[in-house]
Chain A
């Protein structure tokens, strides 16, 4: 089986120019292979660079060295050197993303937020709406909230809107950064179901999960981070 994404020899150091040019090495010689239909879990203590690695796979952080290869048929696209518009195209069609916190366009309703990735891919309103509704319902977001902007929602409610949005399209690759961090056990279970379903349809998932019981349920493989480099 061939990987659909490969991270090769990835290095990243933050340089905080306005704080005495402190250097924070976060990623060193990281190698990953990601396969369709399986969930790779990034494992390591807080501060070990899990989110930084995941963000690099999304093009949100820029790496200093290495390759971030995405398979495109017979060829590979290196996200580390891709143009912004190529990354934007990849995010629209290929790589889904669920972060720890909802960051969306202010004043859009929860339903609109979930529908947005579908509409951007040319899916009609008539098709997108029931799909968005069923995701929100699956995640126990109360129907009375669907038409409201999530700014005033609780952390857990916002997070579930965020998850619904991330699962709205059948992305080949899904990146999940602690999607269940602010959820109770019942809702976490709902997210696990979505992850299992995505795997079953062939999605490759890279995730970070705080709770070990979640990790144990969803992980096919673990990628162990190096421990934070103390200076």
Chain B
């Protein structure tokens, strides 16, 4: 009558369950871009982060989630060269296949690495922008820091980036303080991406914004991350943001990583009590 007659119950197979030898053969050849080994930074017991290890590969997006005060911002600062951890090492692939400890180099060298390879997007856009410099100047300044000199080229690139972050080019000479919060955040992103960093650190980039403004900014970030193949570490307390942007997620509670893994696995099959609590507190969407 039909194929379904060829019914077998695969469960009754007397397949005794000897593990098969496996090889993780999907060859993902690239070496890690960033690795942290057992890093800790505690201002006081439970204040900061404790014994965190992670590896980030080129093009990967990692979200760090957890409640306020769980140490996310402090961790992001240590990963991005801004706060030396009390213990452990943070290593960056500065030249192909060679990891350098960020905190064993000189201050000047570290600043150089950060300038050339990192983008840092602060939660409050004005923390990452210069108030007394025009929008175009805020973008151009970063180019000059990495050696650009030709005024015409710099201005052209500033225009290109304003357009990329959906700011009208006619605003190029306006001061960022005359911009809305959403525009300021987009400008901060342009300022960070103009030098083509490999790795971008973002701390609650959609934090203080209205919902509709947030949505537009998220779309923009998602598209830029994909187009530029950026590796990103993003701190957020919003699980929907993590689901939208991140390949992987790390859940923090009181300075400790309690669970980590593939984003949809952690959110759909949370295993740690705290992750279950976080996931169940969000309205179903």
A and B assemble together = yes
Smallest distance from the beta carbon of B61 to chain A beta carbons, Å? 10
Surface stretch bound by B, among A81-89, A128-136, A168-176, A182-190: A81-89
**Which B residue's beta carbon lies closest to that of A17?**
B273
Contacts of B280 in A (CB 8 A): 18
Smallest distance from the beta carbon of A212 to chain B beta carbons, Å? 9
Partner of A8, one of B20, B244, B262, B277: B20
B13–A219 touching, CB < 8 Å: no
Q: A77-B24, A216-B2, A216-B4 are in contact. Are A223 and B262 (CB under 8 A)?
A: no
B25–A226 touching, CB < 8 Å: no
**Which B residue's beta carbon lies closest to that of A12?**
B269
> CB-defined interface of B220-231 with A at 8 Å, one 1/0 digit per residue?
001000000000
> CB-defined interface of B97-126 with A at 8 Å, one 1/0 digit per residue?
000000000000000000000000000000
**Which A residue's beta carbon lies closest to that of B2?**
A216
**Which B residue's beta carbon lies closest to that of A9?**
B17
CA distance A61 to B273 in the complex (A): 16
A77–B25 touching, CB < 8 Å: yes
Smallest distance from the beta carbon of B15 to chain A beta carbons, Å? 5
B15–A8 touching, CB < 8 Å: yes
A60–B265 touching, CB < 8 Å: yes
**Which B residue's beta carbon lies closest to that of A76?**
B22
A75 at interface by CB-CB < 8 Å: yes
Partner of A223, one of B3, B9, B244: B9
> CB-defined interface of B249-261 with A at 8 Å, one 1/0 digit per residue?
0000000000001
A84–B11 touching, CB < 8 Å: no
Q: A76-B23, A220-B3 are in contact. Are A17 and B276 (CB under 8 A)?
A: yes
Partner of B57, one of A14, A81, A85, A216: A85
B19–A62 touching, CB < 8 Å: no
Contacts of A226 in B (CB 8 A): 11
B6–A88 touching, CB < 8 Å: no
CA distance A30 to B10 in the complex (A): 9
CA distance A33 to B12 in the complex (A): 12
B13–A221 touching, CB < 8 Å: no
A75–B23 touching, CB < 8 Å: yes
A86–B9 touching, CB < 8 Å: no
A75–B22 touching, CB < 8 Å: yes
Q: A16-B276, A82-B24 are in contact. Are A61 and B6 (CB under 8 A)?
A: no
A17–B248 touching, CB < 8 Å: no
B44 at interface by CB-CB < 8 Å: no
Contacts of A86 in B (CB 8 A): 24, 26, 28
> What are some 15 contacts across the A-B interface (CB < 8 A)?
A14-B269, A17-B272, A40-B10, A59-B262, A61-B269, A62-B271, A78-B20, A82-B26, A83-B28, A84-B248, A87-B262, A89-B28, A107-B215, A217-B2, A221-B8
Other A-B contacts than A8-B15, A85-B28, 13 sampled, CB-CB below 8 A, are A15-B271, A29-B11, A33-B13, A59-B265, A62-B261, A62-B271, A69-B22, A86-B26, A89-B28, A90-B26, A107-B215, A219-B4, A226-B11
A-B pairs, top 10 by smallest CB distance, nearest first, are: A17-B273, A9-B17, A78-B22, A72-B25, A84-B262, A219-B4, A61-B269, A75-B23, A75-B25, A216-B4
